[in-house]
């Protein structure tokens, strides 16, 4: 019996070594942790339960017959993050470069099936040379099976992809279909075709980092939602994100203990909006001052800075925040901002996370590039996302909200539950100057007349009261009481029930 137990331990030890000491050393030399080290840091200490440690590939082609390594290049299983169950897989670059074989893919599918069935998130750590070249179409089939499960899991359990090494070719489409992608700076990259193929086909010379590094994907392409300095920082932040999310679409996000008075008044907010309407201010200050303990987890911080998205807690409950940022493009909505916010709103709605919208928006960004780029279709995404969302929606207009953007930004007309405005808010079709120039074009030569007309328009519309008279704004609130008002609003909406008509699925303008 003892021999048998020792044999098991020996087999386990071999499997835990993956591709062996020298390949582990090479992994460390690149500043990367191994698959098992990553899992250990991601999950609560000692909570990891492994599946399929002894699974090996079945390929005999190209000399693969006697190369089987237990685990086959991916470590899979489940464990907990702050006591809540999570399924994980971590590709092991030390075994065949983490490449995906039929058996490797089957291991990932097994834990994804369990995650969907048992209602727990999936976190995938990607570090792979792509399809196992020796296996050919068997490897492509494995990817296809994973893709299908990504789609089945979408909107059912949160899926997070941590890109911690290469992720290239069709392999990128699995992370692309998950809810959030994080990348490690300088040691991870994602592209459909790498620099060599690009050079051959288009004659463009580009480095892997420029083509698909963390900076490219968080700043330019918006493929990724966050970039981190190293593996350790990313894993810590993934734990932090998971704490904001429910385990599945039938559960609420966890309520965390909080040590911040929900009725806290913030008198500094009374002077947040500058007297000069053209002067910007930092909307993040408002977010931090509303949030429990000022804690804000920002999503896509480096992309489309004119809109801010991320998670806070109010009375310990998760809330998704969407906010115009007057510091960037005056807070205009454009193609990028609309796409970014629309995806975030849909994530929140799919997982029953209430949405707080902070509005200071002069309208959609004018320009040929915007129109030719399809701002109509992209802007409609955000409108659509807000309109279909059935989660509690609380909106606060801090300064201006004009035109179509007024309607889009979680207005009363899109089933906003609480629509508050600060006394500094202007709810109007457009700014007074623009309005006067259209209405009184014939008087444009007379500066005094135009100034008087502008003043008249301002007096009538440059305030929240016209909208409040119609009930489009429920209440004009003091800036200093925003946290209290918003927290009470969400508290009153905890039992909200709203259903859209039955449909197979909608047809959001993609």
Cβ proximity to ligand HXC: between 187 and 325 the closer is 187
SS3 108: helix
- To 5 degrees, how large is the angle CA 80–CA 83–CA 86? 30
List the catalytic residue out of 169, 212, 416, 431.
Answer: 169
Cβ proximity to ligand HXC: between 199 and 267 the closer is 199
| Residue spans of beta strands (DSSP E) within 385-503 | 393-402, 418-421, 426-428, 475-476
Which residues have CB under 8 Å from 497's CB, separation 6+? none
Lay out the site mask for ligand HXC across 54-93 (x = CB under 6 A, - = otherwise). Answer: ----------------------------------------
Cβ proximity to ligand HXC: between 22 and 499 the closer is 22
**Which tokens belong to 255?**
């309520």
Does the annotation count 320 as an active-site position?
A: no
List the catalytic residue out of 120, 405, 432, 487.
Answer: 405
Which residues have CB under 8 Å from 205's CB, separation 6+? 195, 199
Picking from 355, 361, 180, 177, the residue whose alpha carbon sits closest to that of residue 253 is 355
Dist. CA 157–CA 24, nearest whole Å: 32
Q: Which of residues 115-144 bind ligand HXC (CB under 6 A)?
A: 129-133, 140, 143
Cβ proximity to ligand HXC: between 57 and 313 the closer is 57
List the catalytic residue out of 119, 144, 155, 170.
Answer: 170
Dist. CA 419–CA 416, nearest whole Å: 6
Dist. CA 383–CA 448, nearest whole Å: 39
Which residues have CB under 8 Å from 116's CB, separation 6+? 149, 152, 153, 156, 157
Q: Is 99 exposed, middle or buried (0-12, 13-18, 19+ CB in 10 A)?
A: buried
CB 203 to ligand HXC: min, Å = 20
Cα-to-chain-centroid distance, residue 461 = 36
Does the annotation count 19 as an active-site position?
A: no
Other C-beta atoms closer than 10 Å to the C-beta of 296 total 18
CB 142 to ligand HXC: min, Å = 8
Q: Which of residues 87-116 bind ligand HXC (CB under 6 A)?
A: 96-97, 99
Cβ proximity to ligand HXC: between 19 and 320 the closer is 19
Query: Residue from 18, 71, 158, 169 that binds ligand HXC (CB under 6 A)?
Result: 169
| Greatest C-alpha distance within the chain | 102
Tokens 């050919």 found at? 136
Size of the site for ligand HXC (CB under 6 A): 16
Dihedral pair phi/psi, residue 463, rounded to 5°: -160, 170
List the catalytic residue out of 176, 404, 434, 452.
Answer: 404
CB 227 to ligand HXC: min, Å = 20
**Which tokens belong to 47?**
């909570």
CB 155 to ligand HXC: min, Å = 22
CB 23 to ligand HXC: min, Å = 6
Q: Find the part of the chain contacting ligand HXC (CB under 6 A) among 53-61, 168-176, 321-329, 427-435.
A: 168-176
Picking from 297, 482, 484, the residue whose alpha carbon sits closest to that of residue 396 is 482
Picking from 387, 383, 401, 388, the residue whose alpha carbon sits closest to that of residue 339 is 383
Does the annotation count 435 as an active-site position?
A: no
Cβ proximity to ligand HXC: between 96 and 182 the closer is 96
Lay out the site mask for ligand HXC across 272-311 (x = CB under 6 A, - = otherwise). Answer: ----------------------------------------
Cβ proximity to ligand HXC: between 190 and 332 the closer is 190
Does the annotation count 169 as an active-site position?
A: yes
Cβ proximity to ligand HXC: between 104 and 399 the closer is 104
Q: According to the binding rule CB under 6 A, does residue 212 interact with ligand HXC?
A: no
Dist. CA 36–CA 15, nearest whole Å: 11
CB 26 to ligand HXC: min, Å = 8
Lay out the site mask for ligand HXC across 10-39 (x = CB under 6 A, - = otherwise). Answer: -------------x----------------
CB 469 to ligand HXC: min, Å = 58
CB 133 to ligand HXC: min, Å = 4
Q: Which residues are catalytic?
A: 169-170, 404-405
Binding stretches for ligand HXC (CB under 6 A):
23, 96-97, 99, 129-133, 140, 143, 166, 168-171
């Amino acid at each position: 019996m003892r021999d048998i137990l020792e044999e098991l331990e020996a087999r386990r030890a071999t499997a835990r070594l993956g591709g062996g000491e020298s390949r582990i050393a090479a992994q460390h030399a690149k500043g990367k942790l191994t698959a098992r080290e990553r899992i250990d840091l991601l999950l609560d200490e000692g909570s990891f339960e492994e599946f399929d440690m002894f699974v090996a590939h079945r390929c005999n082609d190209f000399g693969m017959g006697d190369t089987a390594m237990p685990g086959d290049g991916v470590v899979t299983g489940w464990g907990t993050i702050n006591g809540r169950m999570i399924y994980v897989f971590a590709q092991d670059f030390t075994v065949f470069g983490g490449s995906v074989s039929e058996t490797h893919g089957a291991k990932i599918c097994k834990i994804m099936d369990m995650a969907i069935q048992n209602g727990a998130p999936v976190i995938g750590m990607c570090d792979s040379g792509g399809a196992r070249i020796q296996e050919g179409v068997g490897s492509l089939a494995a990817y296809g099976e994973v893709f299908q499960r990504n789609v089945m899991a979408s909107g059912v359990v949160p899926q997070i992809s941590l890109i911690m090494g290469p992720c290239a070719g069709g392999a990128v489409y699995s992370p692309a279909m998950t809810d959030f992608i994080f990348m490690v700076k300088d040691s991870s990259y994602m592209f459909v075709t790498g620099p060599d193929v690009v050079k051959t086909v288009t004659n463009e010379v580009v480095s892997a980092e420029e083509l698909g590094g963390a900076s490219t994907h968080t700043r330019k392409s918006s493929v990724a939602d966050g970039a981190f300095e190293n593996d350790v920082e990313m894993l810590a932040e993934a734990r932090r994100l998971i704490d904001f999310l429910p385990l599945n679409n039938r559960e609420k996000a966890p309520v965390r203990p909080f040590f911040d008075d929900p009725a806290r008044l913030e008198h500094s907010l009374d002077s947040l909006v500058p007297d000069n309407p053209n002067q910007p201010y930092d909307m993040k200050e408002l977010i931090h001052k509303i949030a429990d303990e000022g804690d804000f987890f920002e999503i896509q911080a480096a992309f489309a800075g004119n809109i801010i998205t991320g998670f806070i807690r109010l009375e310990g409950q998760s809330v998704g925040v969407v906010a115009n940022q007057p510091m960037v493009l005056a807070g205009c909505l454009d193609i990028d901002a609309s796409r970014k916010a629309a995806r975030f709103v849909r994530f929140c709605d799919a997982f029953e996370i209430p949405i707080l919208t902070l509005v200071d928006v002069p309208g959609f960004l004018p320009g040929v590039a915007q129109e030719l780029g399809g701002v109509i279709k992209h802007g409609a995404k955000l409108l659509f996302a807000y309109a279909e969302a059935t989660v509690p929606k609380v909106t606060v207009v801090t300064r201006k909200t004009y035109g179509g953007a007024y309607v889009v930004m979680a207005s009363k007309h899109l089933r906003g539950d609480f629509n508050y405005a600060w006394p500094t808010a202007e709810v109007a079709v457009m700014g007074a100057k623009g309005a006067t120039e259209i209405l009184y074009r014939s008087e444009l030569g007379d500066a005094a007349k135009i100034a008087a007309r502008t003043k008249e328009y301002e007096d009538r519309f440059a305030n929240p009261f016209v909208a409040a008279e119609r009930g489009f704004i429920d209440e004009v609130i003091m800036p200093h009481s925003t946290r209290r008002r918003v927290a009470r609003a969400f508290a009153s909406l905890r039992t909200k029930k709203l259903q859209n008509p039955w449909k197979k699925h909608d047809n959001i303008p993609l």
